[in-house]
Structures are given as structure tokens and as C-alpha cells.
A and B are shown apart, each in its own frame.
Chain A
């Protein structure tokens, strides 16, 4: 069965239901990595697909881009047919003020590790042709109606046959047998629903998006006479970024597409901005006029080529990989949040796990413990990412605090999640993989504290904190943070990466302490105690006698020499707020507050 093509389409090793980004990339990956597997893709829609106005999921970051460029060997194609991206860029500050005066955070040069802006219509059109040429059977116009799982056998037992029933374009019904069934049908989550696995995510955020048939870039929003603003775009590549306009409770994306379109979207927290304030084209324009007047003015006479709104877009799942030979990939599994463009990352990671498990299975040793291990990694990292991407309403209002958040989030991402993928840690044996997850758990715990510190800092700040510089390079070179970016492609064995991570998680802990120091100095003696109460610093083990805190009260040169590199780097990037009270005293007050809050809790 394995080697013959799925010509008659009565059975296949892997039936992929849904040929969107997740389904098509998995099909290609299986051809590359498990060439013996016969692969059938059933996709509801038929070509031709339109340019641009097809789907969201246009911006990629390191992991997802690495998946497409290297795992799938598409680098030359992406460089030729899509846009080489210049990182993530953020404009904060006074959203109603002059755009050129808004603090800007983003790369000052194109990143060393490339990522891309994808035109989804074009990409899926091209991927369909590619997978067909590679020997995948792709049935277009195929509407999957039912999946019947054979739950009888698991792991090494003889494979039971799952069946998939679909209706073809002419209305005829077909049933195919499948050793593996993969749900890649997007947010309908057929398998997850059928198996009762859908989990809500506490992330009350919604989005609306549209494309315009012309290039709309941040430079359009700043008069040419503001020379300094334009001049600091030294390489002329600012427009290639995913630009985010951030304000209290919302952010707006601007993504350039290779077909000449621009993708724009609004993402907002329900508590700050009800969905009904931006869920139609007219309301979205009104929303922009109220919150992002410079962009609204730019779009005034520009027609929307499409428009879509989606309430409460997040959801998780505790199981997307099963030893019973089914999987849910892409949005058919879970979706965290559009912030940082993590969708493509989880899609690539999930697909890679499926391909590895199918390969194990076809060579006769699918290990249910490994399935569970990889599944747990997906669940834990998605839950952790949700913590990172939700609850940022107040932070978006303070460019300085958001910049501090970016330091933490990027460090966390590059040193752990992205490093995991670039360095192929799923290939570790189970015991070592377990050790990776244990490091992940330490990151999770730190992330909970870090995000709480950032949120509290933002919520308590009496005035808007824009930061001291009009432009903050991120990543800043050279820095401990940038080194994590550069390390992604350094040759290293999975074992060496595991050892590196054990050190990096300690730096991560030092970084969280720096967030505390920054927040305390910004909030000052009047708010230090309250900050400690809300942010619950007592769990961090950070005390006024810590050498880092003691060093903080030295004169500059001596302090700089006594600080750990991560502390110095954050000070270089974010500056140091002068304070009449020593950091050690601020921390002591905060810890008092934290202890009082804890004992009030335990008394209750």
C-alpha cells in the first residue's frame, strides 16, 4: 500500500483533511521526510485562488520562517516570490499625536535570521502545484463530511483503519481508508469537537482585518520634511517589517505583501474596546479615526479589497497528537494569538512532530510515550505563549514598558522555543526531552512572574512612559539578547543545546529581576509597596541584599562593572530612571507589600 500512489484514492497512509497552509506544508514535509508514505489531501476549495485576499497568517517569525525555508526547502522560492521581512516593529506613545514623534521599537538592520511576509493566496496556489508535482494526491472541491476513527488499536498493535468520508465537486460521496488521519481544516476543529477536546482560552480578544490594493507603509504617515525620522531607516527596509501601532487595549498591524497589497488588522481586548466598535468596515474606519488618526487619514480614500472580523479568536487543546494515529494541525488544533505571529510557529512545530511520528509508525515503532511527550510540549508551550500574548492592554499604552516586555518575550522565545526548533530537540531521547520540558516549566514559572510584573508596572504608572529615545533598536547589537538570536543557527548537537538552555534559564531569571528593578525605579517610593503587593514579588527570591541590588547603588562606572551583562544591556537599552531612594530600599518596600498580601491571602 505504502509505495503505490493513491491513484484510486481508496486508501492512503496519511489522509490530510484540509489543504490550507498546515495541510499543504505537512504534505510537502511528508514527501521530503517520509517518502514511502502515500499522502492524500482533501481540500474544499478549488483553484484559482486570489492574490492576497485569502487568509490571515501572513507574517512569520524565526521558527515558522525556518520551517518553511529550511525544513521544507522553500527559501529560494520565498525570497523570490514573497517579501523578505524586517522583523517586528512597534510604534507606541501618543497615538493621537504626530506620527513621527511616536517612539519606535524595531530592528535597525534586517535580521540575521530571515523571515518572510507571505501572500497567502499566492503561497497556497503555489504550494498546491508543488505538492502535486511531488506526488501527493490533492483532491480539490472535496468537502470532508465525516471522520470515523478506529480507536481500537494503539501504538504497536496492528493498525486499525480510520475512514474519511467526503463529497466531491460533483456531489458524489467517497470514503477513503487511512492509517493516519490529520485534521487540517482550520478553526472548525472537526476532530477536536468530535472528541470533546476543545478548550477555551481565557483571552477575550477579537480581531478584524482587510487588505488594500496598494502599499501603505509607516513612512506615509510622516511628512518628508521630518528628515531625521526618515534618515534613521538607514537601509531603506523599514517598510518590510510587520508594523504594529500600539495603544491602550489594542494594536493594529500593517503587513506588506509581494503582490502589491497591504494587509491591515485591528486586534483589541474586549474589556477596553468592544468587538462591535470595529467589526464592520465602517466601524473599523471609525475605530481607526478615533485611535489611529494618522493611519485613518491615509486610508480615507482607499477601498478595502476584503474585510473579515473574528471575535474571541483564541482556543487551546490538551491533545492534538494521538498514538491512535490522528492529529490536529494548524488552527484545527489550537490558536493562541496573532501577537508576534506565532501561528506559523506552532503550525510548523506541530507538523514536524506529525511527520516524525508517521516516520516512526511506518518503520514499525510508534512509541505512545513519545506521542504523549511531544503532545505535552505543544500544550505547555501554547499555554505559556497565551500568557505572553494576553493581558497586555495597559502595557501597550507605555512604549517603555512594552520595550521591556519585548526584551523578556524575545529572550524567552529565542533561548527556549525557537532554539528548540532550530536545534531539533524533538530528536532527543525521551529522558533528555523530559529535561527540556523541565527547563520549559522553569520558563513558564518565570513568565508568569514577568508578565505580572510588566502588567502591574503598566497599571500603576501614573503617566504614560514613552522611554528616553525616539528609536530603540531591537534586537540591540551587541547584547546578551541579540546573542540568543545569533545562536539559533550555530551548529550544535541537541545535547549541547540542552546544556546551553540550562544556563540560559538562569539568565532568564536575572532578566526578570531586571524588570523588577526597572519597574521599581520608575514607580518610585510612593508606589513600591503597592507594586510588590500586586506583582507578588515574594516568589522570586529577590532580596535587598542580592549583590545585583547592592551594586545598583554604586557610582556609574563601578556599577556597570559589577552588573551582570544582562542587567547592563537592559540599562543600555532602556536607560536608568534616577531615584532619590536606593534600589535596595525600593525592593524592601515592595517585598513588605508582597508579604502583607500573602499573609492576607492565607488568613482569608
Chain B
């Protein structure tokens, strides 16, 4: 997948899931400010990206991501890791709903 194709997929996921206008989503858009998402939305994004990459996201990497462009890079790296057959991160203990409360914006952990 090229970066452009990955961007397309991500725009589709974001617009479908969060009722966003695709035209409003640009590589430099920030997830939490420009797109007005919160930490629970972020968890859900990574769950859907997992279907795309076939890999469990590393929560430490995921939680640093701020922009759409960084998401694209993340997916690119994950696809490359899948290609190389890199080992998966172990499944993390699942967060509870209260731990993932939306007010702690930015701490997107891997959801599953």
C-alpha cells in the first residue's frame, strides 16, 4: 500500500466512524483538536487499523500519535513489520471503560 492509499483508508475510517466530512480531513489535521476526537475515539481508530495491518498496535507508540499524517506513518510501519514477520506485542490487559474515560484526551491505548 502506498501512503496515498493508506491515507484514503484512514480518511474513510474517520469519516465513517465519526460523521466527519472527508474534505475536512488532511494529513496535518490533529486528531484531538482539529477533528475533535477523544481518547475513546482513538482506541476505536486503532481497533479498526488493526484489521488493516493485521497486527496488535503497540500502545506506547499509539499514544504518541497526534496527527493524521502520523497515523499514516504508523500504518506504513506496521505493514512493513507484518511483511518482515516481526513479533507481535503481547496482548495488554484490557482497559476498563472508566480508565479510558474521554477526559484524559491523548492517552490512546491499544483497545484490545
Contacts and interface: CB of A to CB of B under 8 A. Distances in A.
Interface of A: 108-110, 112, 227-228, 230-232, 234-235, 468-471, 473, 476-480, 482-483, 486, 556-557, 560-561, 565, 568-569, 572, 575-576
B50 A232 contact: yes
Contact of A478 (B36, B52, B55, B100): B100
Interface of B: 16-19, 36, 38, 40, 43-44, 47-48, 50-56, 82, 88, 91, 94-100, 102, 111-112
A468 to B, nearest CB: 7
A478 B18 contact: no
Contacts of A235: 56, 88, 91
A560 B18 CA distance: 10
A234 B55 contact: yes
Given A108-B50, A235-B91, A480-B97, A572 B44 contact: yes
Contacts of B16: 468, 575
Nearest to B82: A231
A228 B50 contact: no
A227 B98 CA distance: 35
Q: Which 4 A-B pairs rank lowest in CB-CB distance, beginning with the nearest?
A: A231-B54, A477-B94, A478-B100, A478-B95
A228 B95 contact: no
Contact of B36 (A480, A482, A557, A575): A557
Given A108-B50, A109-B91, A483 B97 contact: yes
Contacts of B111: 476-478
Contacts of A110: 91
A228 B40 contact: no
A478 B50 contact: no
Contact of B51 (A232, A480, A556): A232
Given A478-B96, A572-B40, 10 more contacts: A108-B47, A109-B112, A231-B51, A231-B53, A232-B50, A234-B56, A234-B88, A477-B43, A479-B97, A483-B97
Contacts of A469: 48
Contacts of B82: 231
B112 A568 contact: no
A576 B17 CA distance: 9
Contact of B19 (A227, A470, A576): A576
A477 B19 contact: no
B47 A473 contact: yes
A227 B44 CA distance: 22
Given A477-B111, A478-B100, A568 B18 contact: no
B3 to A, nearest CB: 19
A232 B50 CA distance: 7
A561 B88 CA distance: 34
A456 B75 CA distance: 41
Contacts of A482: 94, 96-97
Nearest to A236: B88
B97 A112 contact: no
Contacts of B54: 227-228, 230-232, 234
A108 B111 CA distance: 10
5 contacts: A112-B94, A476-B111, A478-B96, A482-B97, A560-B102
A482 B47 CA distance: 15
A482 B38 CA distance: 19
Nearest to B39: A478
Nearest to B56: A234
A572 B41 CA distance: 8
A470 B40 contact: no
Nearest to A555: B19
A459 B88 CA distance: 43
Given A473-B112, A477-B95, A234 B52 contact: no
